[in-house]
Amino acid sequence: MDKYAVVGNPVSHSLSPRIHRMFAEETDQDISYEALQLDPNNFVTEILRLQASGYLGVNVTVPFKQQAWKLAKKLSPRAQDAGAVNTLIFQPLALIAGDNTDGIGLSRDLIVNHQILIEHRKILILGAGGAVRGVLGPLLAKRPGLLTIANRTVAKAEQLAEDFFHIWDVQTCSYEELGRDKYDLIINGTSAGLHNELPPVPDSVLGVNSVCYDMMYNLNQPTTFVNWAIDRGALRAYDGLGMLVEQAAESFYIWRGVRPHTELVIQGLRQD
Ligand code: NDP
């Protein structure tokens, strides 16, 4: 049986083992997949130990994505842009390759699962942390009309705009500067929802046709941001469970060469 895992700290809450086991069952792949909590001070040693003990790859979650990026000897272009790795591939001759599937996960959930258009649309992203950095490249590749990043610490948004300037002219602002324009798609990439808080975004960014997307997810109730969007009359609002499943599917495909179906997995997680 081929061995895989998700590594993080904490990691016991992770849905990845359930998701990958569902993928394995559906595609008839003989794999094991566990959640392993690693010591933050020993990330590299622990990863090399997993590789030496026969694991073929790991998913990497908080707080190790940047360390995984530094460790990988070979990076995919999207991981290179993201500055973070969520998928490590242990290759022959002890080579470790790194990829980032968060961005493709988000763009598949938006475009394929929810039929949300990005091309020529006005997009507002709230937050400028690791997750937003990871998804910017794939979003910009879909050629939005305008993409604005608002962040509490504006300098972080400006740094992102600078780092992606070779792809697109990303606009940046503070929350106080928002309100003049309405946006077609508003993506919450902040971690405010982890404390049931909202980023201080004014209601006036919403138009009658605005769609909202929260990268955070809850299995059994709408997230704070989804509730905000619905209460303020957004046309549609989604949480990030689909993104989670889609990024996992892309990792599974990288490791196994087989693309699992995601729809039933997303439905199954919600029903559970
Ligand atoms: P980071 O810690 O790297 O960044 C957090 C961001 O949130 C920063 O921009 C920070 O602003 C902002 N922020 C935090 N609290 C508040 C607040 N109260 N008001 C306004 N802004 C706030 O986190 P990540 O980028 O790694 O994660 C962000 C979110 O994305 C999380 O909710 C995470 O669960 C989700 N995520 C979902 C995935 C999925 O598959 N669905 C995958 C990856 C992440 P500042 O810079 O000013 O501190």
**To 10 degrees, the CA torsion angle through 101, 106, 108, 109?**
130
Q: Give the side-chain half-sphere CA count within 13 A for 174.
A: 6
Amino acid present at 118: I
pLDDT in tens, the chain (272 residues): 999 999 999 999 999 999 999 999 999 999 999 999 999 999 999 999 999 999 999 999 999 999 999 999 999 999 999 999 999 999 988 899 999 999 999 999 999 999 999 999 999 999 999 899 999 999 999 999 999 999 999 999 999 999 999 888 999 999 999 999 999 999 999 999 989 999 999 999 999 999 999 999 999 899 999 999 999 999 999 999 999 999 999 999 999 999 999 999 999 999 87
d(CA 193, CA 196): 4
d(CA 30, CA 173): 48
Closest CA to 130 of 69, 75, 218, 183: 69
Ligand 1 centroid, distance to 45 Cα (angstroms): 28
Q: Is 191 in the pocket of ligand 1 (CB under 6 A)?
A: yes
Ligand 1 centroid, distance to 153 Cα (angstroms): 12
Q: Give the side-chain half-sphere CA count within 13 A for 188.
A: 29
- pLDDT at residue number 128: 96
Catalytic: 74?
no
The protein residue with its alpha carbon nearest to ligand 1, atom 15, reads 192
Amino acid present at 269: L
- pLDDT at residue number 112: 97
Pocket test for ligand 1, best of 191, 214, 215 (most atoms within 8 A of CB): 191
Beta bridge partners of 75: 98
Q: What are phi and psi of 199, to 5 degrees?
A: -65, 150
- pLDDT at residue number 182: 97
